Amino acid sequence: MSNEELTQKIKFFEPDAETAIGSQYVTVTVSPDKLNDLAKKLKESEDTFFDYLFCLTGMDWGDNLGVVYHLDSTKYHHNLVLKTKTTDREHPAIDSVCDIWKTAEFLEREVFDLFGITFNNHPDMRRIFLEDDWKGYPLRKDYVDKENIVER
């Protein structure tokens, strides 16, 4: 499937999705409330079959916190970048995709730990690297830690 065909298929799955064709990947941006539904369609559709989540990254875009998912189809050998974001910096929450791709279970915990994004319906949402009493989220742009002299 070409990137243009993939873009058309994504627009069929989710008409409100923003798409862009880059030099390597098709990039898709959806609102958090549409993420899980689109992710399921991308994995379960015989035309796309994105069966492998190979990277999940938290992002701080200043006004927005978000997540970037890199997907691969081991059957068709095409890739996709899926993005979502929230403007709620106080209580950021995005639906988990670990029911779709098991590897997301660990990666979502990492994003929670370092960015403070909670993943709804995650089976084990707790810190994974930092101590339980750690204050703040060190990969956010507004993170300040006077004790260790860390400022962004």
pLDDT of residue 23: 78
- Read off the pLDDT of residues 71-118 as tens digits, 9 standing for 90 and up: 999 999 999 999 999 999 999 999 999 999 999 999 999 999 999 999
Is the pLDDT at 152 greater than 60, yes or no? Answer: no
Q: Which CATH architecture has domain 3-151?
A: 2-Layer Sandwich (3.30)
pTM, two decimals, is 0.92
**Cα(first)–Cα(last) distance of the chain, in Å?**
42
Task: Tell me the mean pLDDT in the region 124-136.
Answer: 92
pLDDT of residue 42: 97
Residue-wise over 119-147: b if at least 16 C-beta within 10 A, else e? beebeebeeeeeeeeeeebbbbeebeeee
Q: Are 96 and 53 in contact (CB under 8 A)?
A: no
Q: Are 25 and 81 in contact (CB under 8 A)?
A: yes
Q: Tell me the average pLDDT of the chain.
A: 94
